Amino acid sequence: MTNPLRYTVNCSLLFTELPLLERPAAARRAGFGAVEFWWPFVEAVPPDRHVDAFVTAIQDAGVRLTGLNFFAGDMPGGDRGLVSWPKRSGEFRDNIDVTVGIGERLGCPAFNALYGNREDGHSASEQDDLAVENLTLAAEAAARIDGVVLVEPVSGADRYPLLTAADALSVIDRVQAPNVGLLADLYHLAVNGDDVDRVIAEHTDRIAHVQIADAPGRNEPGTGTLSLERQLTTLAGNGYSGWIGLEYKPSTTTVDSFGWLPRERRAVAG
Ligand SMILES: O=C(O)C(=O)CO
């Protein structure tokens, strides 16, 4: 790839060969200077010692944390966030200060608030109204540390209602906070049938974070049919200067899966 973009390793999908706390150092050894994580604990409010161990692992590795997902429920079990869930909204609210607190300790600027699947017994509008309230609370907390809250269209979850960039942007418009932005995962958008080139052409200014994987397969770039190199170059040309999250499932070992990205381009300063 020949663009000036900055890459960050998603240590929830990469380096899963290793215990979670060893992954930041492994990313550093592979030549990267930045990592991102899905919520790294099993509960919304983990014990302080678990939070401290996570913070220390990142500090000791000498990498920066560029993104952290809020608690999103049981992800392996199919949950995709609590933001719009009436029954578990309290857990999301309790989690806001813990997540932003970790961000404050590590200088992390971006927090991904997965929206939540549709739930039986609650109307879509009830869930959407709750999501706006919760995203507003999250945005207020993140603003205290100049952070941004991300809203992400996701594929592969039958009852997750945000599939396209337009779906996420309509939520963001309702929240009306300046620090809520689109997480454009080029893999999820493409798999959901969105017109990724058009999203980039029309909405680069609303994209607060980008993630990539190739499709089909959600493996490293070059394993599928997506035009990731061209799309990242266009994003950069349109003024996107944020991080690119490598959020793919390595088709081989994690270290071998970085073959597509020359080592000298892995840890760009800044
Ligand atoms: O659930 C997923 O696949 C995600 O990308 C969450 O950030």
Please report the DSSP string for 117-178 in residue order.
---TTS-HHHHHHHHHHHHHHHHHHHHTTT-EEEE---SS-TT----SHHHHHHHHHHH--T
pLDDT value at position 1? 47
pLDDT value at position 234? 97
What is the tally of structural domains in the chain?
A: 1
Structural domain range at position 26: 6-265
Series of mean pLDDT values for 10-residue runs along the chain (270 residues) = 80 98 98 98 98 98 98 96 97 98 98 98 98 98 98 97 98 97 98 98 98 98 98 97 97 98 82
**Ligand 1 atom at shortest distance from the alpha carbon of 247:** 5
- What's this model's pTM, rounded to 2 decimal places? 0.97
Q: Is residue 143 part of a domain?
A: yes
CA-nearest residue for atom 3, ligand 1, is 154
Q: Is residue 113 part of a domain?
A: yes
Which residue among the candidates 22, 152, 202, 264 is catalytic per the annotation? 152
Our answer to whether residue 152 is catalytic in this structure is: yes
Q: What share of the chain is helix, strand, coil (3-state, %, to 5)?
A: 40, 15, 45
pLDDT value at position 267? 86
Q: Which residues pair with 1 in a beta bridge?
A: none
Check pocket membership of 218 for ligand 1, CB cut-off 6 A: no
Q: Is residue 228 part of a domain?
A: yes
Is 9 strand, coil or helix?
strand
What is the Cα 245 distance to its own chain's centre?
A: 7
Q: What is the CATH number of the domain that holds 247?
A: 3.20.20.150
pLDDT value at position 5? 87
pLDDT value at position 3? 54
Cα-to-centroid distance, 59 and ligand 1 (Å) = 25
Cα-to-centroid distance, 11 and ligand 1 (Å) = 12
Q: Is residue 176 part of a domain?
A: yes
Q: Is residue 270 part of a domain?
A: no
Q: Is residue 161 part of a domain?
A: yes
Q: Is residue 1 part of a domain?
A: no
Q: Is residue 209 part of a domain?
A: yes
Q: What are phi and psi of 185, to 5 degrees?
A: -90, 110
Our answer to whether residue 264 is catalytic in this structure is: no
